[in-house]
Structure 1
């Protein structure tokens, strides 16, 4: 699955009606709703939208006939294998009725063209874990993280016995990292998934 790297816009005219799409990344439903609120045009007749974040998806026809706007926008998101994405398509009526089929094509097509133009990035499933180690081992553990794309030590807490690192890294690299930490610390590190 992929998400978008940044916000993308696309505009087209369909039978004198103007359609403007804005698509962007959204990591949560709150982010998606904020994006939608921020990208809708106040002077447009309709601001139709859809978002998908994992198993959560929502869409709105914003006054257009049912099923002619929000659902086609959502289908454009899903059809391109995207997740964690929100799309708003604003319409300014140009005086020519498009009919239900024309609205479906216009909203879905505008969203799809906007998404095709957008810069994408792969969604990486991250795992979080806690590593408690001796002070002398911290630098080598951090150095081993530097060789893993997307890995980061979020924070460190110092205790009388050593250091507690909170680490995030791609889930598919988790087993190898745990073996590396065991080697570096000669099996003395305490490695655990954080509570919650």
Structure 2
């Protein structure tokens, strides 16, 4: 199961006079990540590099920002993948200290900076949700309400017309079981609508 993090966490490393300021934070996608990175560039005008890695919404990115290819963004992305994270942006701002670290030293520095930040991160499981719509005769309204609540669902919309129409959301993993259970309990009197 994929996880995200609850709130931004940061770390700071000093390696051979270079200062690495890392942050790992939840994001929705690439646009939000790019806005955060732009804010970091504006907030750290003296920084030599603002490197970042993203795993969000099926999108990934690994940006070295002038560091030798594969020494910053890719190692940061590997840390996020290794931790099973999703919906997360890792950034590291580097102030160059005048001493070259070499490719191996850079990989270690960027990896360690992200890993140190993640030590303090509170991870939360990502639960995929599914929206469902159905209609039942009035006599089954109470039963449907109880079954949705028992499955951990959230009622989003109820409309009373010729029948009672329900719109609700629940965990993807519980959806098929609830649909089957309602089919049995309501003896086929549940009319399901296609969800968007």
TM bucket (normalised to shorter chain) is: 0.7 to 0.9
Structure 1 unaligned residues grouped into runs of 5+: none
Give 4+ residue runs of structure 1 displaced > 6 Å after superposition.
Answer: none
What does the per-residue CA deviation read over 1:35-54, in whole Å, with 9 as the maximum and x for residues that have no partner? 43445543322110011135
Structure 2 unaligned residues grouped into runs of 5+: none
Q: Distance in 1 between matches of 2:10 and 2:119?
A: 11
Alignment map for 1:9-24 (pairs within 5 Å): 9-24=10-25
Q: TM-score, normalised by structure 1?
A: 0.84
Closer, same or farther: CA 4–188 of 1 in aligned 2, 3 Å: same
In the TM superposition, residue 92 of structure 1 has moved relative to its aligned partner by 1.4
Q: Distance in 1 between matches of 2:29 and 2:112?
A: 25
Q: Distance in 1 between matches of 2:163 and 2:149?
A: 21
Instruction: Tell me the number of residue pairs that the alignment of Structure 1 and Structure 2 aligns.
Output: 193
Q: Distance in 2 between matches of 1:122 and 1:22?
A: 20
Query: Residue 63 of structure 1 aligns to a residue in which SS?
Result: coil
For the aligned residue pairs, the C-alpha RMSD in angstroms reads 2.4
Q: Which residue does the alignment assign to 1:3?
A: 4
Q: Which residue does the alignment assign to 2:134?
A: 131
Q: TM-score, normalised by structure 2?
A: 0.84
Which is worse superposed, 61-70 or 131-140?
Answer: 131-140
In the TM superposition, residue 23 of structure 1 has moved relative to its aligned partner by 1.0
Q: Distance in 2 between matches of 1:133 and 1:22?
A: 50
Which is worse superposed, 159-168 or 87-96?
Answer: 159-168
Alignment map for 1:135-174 (pairs within 5 Å): 135=138, 137-149=140-152, 151-153=153-155, 155-156=156-157, 158=159, 160-174=161-175
8 A contact 1:36–1:86 mirrored in 2: no
1:42 equivalent in alignment to 2:44: yes
